[in-house]
Amino acid sequence: MPDLAGPRSLRQLLYAVQTLSTDLELPNMLRRITQAAVDLVDARYGALGVLDERRERLAEFITVGIDDDLQRKIGNLPEGHGILGLLIRDAKPLRLPDLNEHPDSYGFPPGHPPMTSFLGVPIRVRDDVFGNLYLTDKRSAEVFSDIDEELVVGLAGAAGVAIENARLSGRVRELALVEDRERIARDLHDTVIQRLFATGMSLQSSVLLVRTDPATASDRIERAVDDLDTTIKEIRTAIFALEQPVKRGQGLRAEVLSVAHDAAPALGFEPRLMLDGPIDSAVQGDTAAAVVATLREALSNIGKHANATVVDVELSVADDLLLQVRDNGRGIPEPPPDVGKGLGNMLARAEQLGGTASIGRSPAGGTIVTWRVPLTR
């Protein structure tokens, strides 16, 4: 029976396992796993080889202890020959006092540092071998011990769970991105494309009126220009939504996208957004925080009371900042009720910034919240 790991070694293992969950980006996680294994058993060099889909060779090779200059001298990364291939063919821990004396030793390419003691452990994700941890040259002893092997096996088990979690997280993000793209495509078709078609028809009919009724033609052309301006704003908003994943703390545009995304469960759908002007550069600090809080409160009220099927959010920046939230719900009663806590908060935020806020019935039905503040006080 091998000796059991002592308290210090177990604490090191626990710390190493805890570090695996600090970042769900798989490339970062693989490097942390490799570094954790090196630190855990005091190895000079460490590597994590990721198997290809056929589980026959190494598709990736993450190293610790070899800098970029040395890596360039070594050349191509290993593919799984020699000792490295033993773990690919037979996925179980392998510990050697001197890997150079093993009959399957493949040797090292020119420029490769000499290595002697060796410890290899497979990493399994569910029932499949994901890759292998390779550790060489224990600093504090001539060879790796039974305890070292136990510790790395334990780390590899935790690494398998962490890798699966990272993979699942990545798939969820991909699914969310696909859903966002499909939603944006529907919005483009339902609003932008239809408006462009209608504007084109209006301009076409205006051509016939230029000679017979110039005033009517001029009016139609002006409305068409306004429609095109609105369409351009919607296209810019859609492009930004495609390019910008939902992240917090990345500017006001991203914060507004995040608030709209968070409101979807309560509303039953995501609001339609139209963002225009230098929002990120012109709106910061307290004003940006007030916009986010006001939008969140407005969407929350709609989700609780309006029974709406469509919500439009417009945020524009020019001489001042204008936030409008419109829905097609049941609308507020007539006459309007006394100012409640929700609207009171909106008014208070606007007044603190030298602006105004109001709520009323939308001409098209439903409710419209208008929140306007100056950008310079």
Helix (H, G, I), strand (E, B) or coil at 2: coil
Provide mean pLDDT across the span 172-182: 62
pLDDT at 201 over 80: no
> Is residue 255 packed enough to be buried (19+ CB in 10 Å), middle (13-18) or exposed (0-12)?
buried
Top-confidence residue, 111 or 54: 54
d(CA 123, CA 49): 10
Q: Please answer whether residues 62 and 47 qualify as being in contact, where contact means their C-beta atoms are separated by less than 8 angstroms.
A: yes
Residue 215 domain-assigned? no
Residue 197 domain-assigned? no
Residue 365 domain-assigned? yes
What's the CATH code of the domain at 58?
3.30.450.40
Provide mean pLDDT across the span 305-330: 91
Query: Domain residues for 24?
Result: 7-171
| Cα angle value 352/356/361 (rounded, 5°) | 140
pLDDT score recorded for residue 3: 47
What's the token pair of residue 279? 């929002």
Same domain, 37 and 163: yes
Q: Averaging pLDDT over each range in 134-138, 220-224, 245-249, 288-292, which range is the top one?
A: 134-138
pLDDT score recorded for residue 1: 36
Q: Please answer whether residues 353 and 286 qualify as being in contact, where contact means their C-beta atoms are separated by less than 8 angstroms.
A: yes
pTM: 0.47
Question: Domain end: 133, 156, 171, which one?
Answer: 171
DSSP letter (8 states) at residue 211: H
DSSP letter (8 states) at residue 373: E
d(CA 373, CA 377): 9
Top-confidence residue, 246 or 143: 143
Same domain, 129 and 252: no
Q: Averaging pLDDT over each range in 51-60, 91-100, 109-118, 159-168, which range is the top one?
A: 91-100
What's the CATH code of the domain at 301?
3.30.565.10
d(CA 210, CA 360): 39
pLDDT score recorded for residue 175: 59
pLDDT above 70 as % of the chain: 72
Q: How far is CA 75 from CA 112, 302, 319, in A?
A: 9, 61, 59
Residue 62 domain-assigned? yes
Domain count across the chain: 2
Question: Domain end: 139, 171, 203, which one?
Answer: 171
Question: Domain end: 171, 194, 224, which one?
Answer: 171
